[in-house]
Amino acid sequence: MIDERFGLSRHVTLPGPLRLDGGALLAPVEIAYETYGTLAPDGGNAVLVCHALTGDQHLASPHPRTGKPGWWSRLVGEGRPVDPARDFVVCVNVLGSCMGSSGPSTINPATGHPFAMAFPVITIRDMVRAQAMLLDHLGVGVLRAVVGGSMGGMQALSWPATFPDRVRAAVVIASTARHTAQNIAFHEVGRQAVMADPKWRGGDYRDDPPAAGLSVARMAAHITYLSEAGLTEKFGRKLQARDAKGFGFDADFQVESYLRHQGLSFVDRFDANSYLYITRAMDYFDLAEEHGGLLANAFRATAARFCLVSFDTDWLYPTIESRHIVHALNAAGRAVSFVELSSPYGHDAFLLDAPEMNRVVDGFLKAVA
C-alpha cells in the first residue's frame, strides 16, 4: 500500500526500454510525477489526471517556479470532483516536457549534454505508455478513471484504446480524437517562430534560449485558447495606459499588452524544444488512424465508461469534435455521457471557474464503481 502525503512530488528513473511509435527505444525513462491521497490496499481508487500542452505534474499544488496555484485546483482537492480523501490521484509530466520527465532538455547519457533535437520524436500514445510504466511501478493495475482536458483529453482517450483492460472510466474535456489541418497549421506557425529565432541554434541553445521566438509562439497559441466574445468582453478596443493612440508599434491596445505578457511569462517556465516536440506529438494524434482508419475500433476492446464535455465557444476543439467521438463510442457499444456547456471563455473554459463542468464530472465519477 502506498501512503503519500498530499501533493507529493516525485521523480523516478525506470530502466525501460520504452519502444516509441517512431521506432526508437528510450532507456532509461525519466518520469516526474505528483500524487495526492493514498492508494487503497486493493489498488482500486487510482485516478490519473493528464495535463495539457503547457501543463505539468503540479496539478493542485503551487508551481515551484511561478508560485501559482496548481493548474486544476478547481477540480482536484478536498470536496472537489477528484478528491484525495477518496482517490489516489496521479499526475505525470508527459514525455517530451521540461519538468523532469524524459525530453529534449534531459541529459543524454551518451554525451553528457541535453538531448536537444537528438531526442526521438514522441506521440500521445508514447506518453500513455510511459504513464503505464509508472503505474506499474506504483502498483496500480487498473485505473478507476483517467481524466484530462485538451491534450490531456487526448491521453484520456488513448488510455482505454491502448490499455483496454486498465481503465474503468474516462473523462474527456474540450478535446478531440485527431488534429485537424487548422490545428496543425497553428502549431506550425509556433514552431517556425521558435526555429526562426537566431538563438535557437538548431536546438542547441543551452543557457541562452530563443525567448523571443517562443514568446511569439505562445502569443499565437494563446489566441486559439480564447473566444472572440471573451476577448471583446475583457478588452474590446480599450487602450493600454494611455488616452490616445501612439501612432507607433508599442502596445497601444490592452489586448496587445495582455498577449505580450502571456508570451514573456511563458518563456520563464517552459523549454522551447519541448514546445516543438509536444506540439508535434499533438499533430500526429489520430486515434482512428491508429486503429485501422475507423474511430469506433479504438473503443471496441474496452468496457470503460466515458464522459465527454465540450464548450460552445471553443473553436480550437469545437463541439463537433466531441460529437464525432460520441458517435464512435455509440458505434462501438460503449456507455457514454455527453454535454456541451455554455461559456464565454473559449477553449480555456475547462481550466477556469466552471461549476457546471465540476458538477458533471463529480456526478459521473461518483457513479463509477
Catalytic site residue from 150, 227, 274, 343? 150
Side chain identity, residue 341? L
Catalytic site residue from 56, 126, 252, 314? 314
| Widest distance between CA atoms in the chain | 67
Does residue 283 have an active-site annotation?
Answer: no
Does residue 63 have an active-site annotation?
Answer: no
* Residue 286, burial from CB neighbour count under 10 angstroms (0-12, 13-18, 19+): middle
Does residue 150 have an active-site annotation?
Answer: yes
Contact in structure between 91 and 59 (CB atoms under 8 Å): yes
Contact in structure between 124 and 19 (CB atoms under 8 Å): no
Q: SS3 sequence, 234-276? A: HCCCCECCCCCCCCCCCCCEHHHHHHHHHHHHHHCCCCHHHHH
Contact in structure between 356 and 363 (CB atoms under 8 Å): no
d(CA 29, CA 272): 21
Among candidates 130, 117, 98, which has minimal Cα distance to 27? 130
Residues belonging to the active site: 150, 314, 347
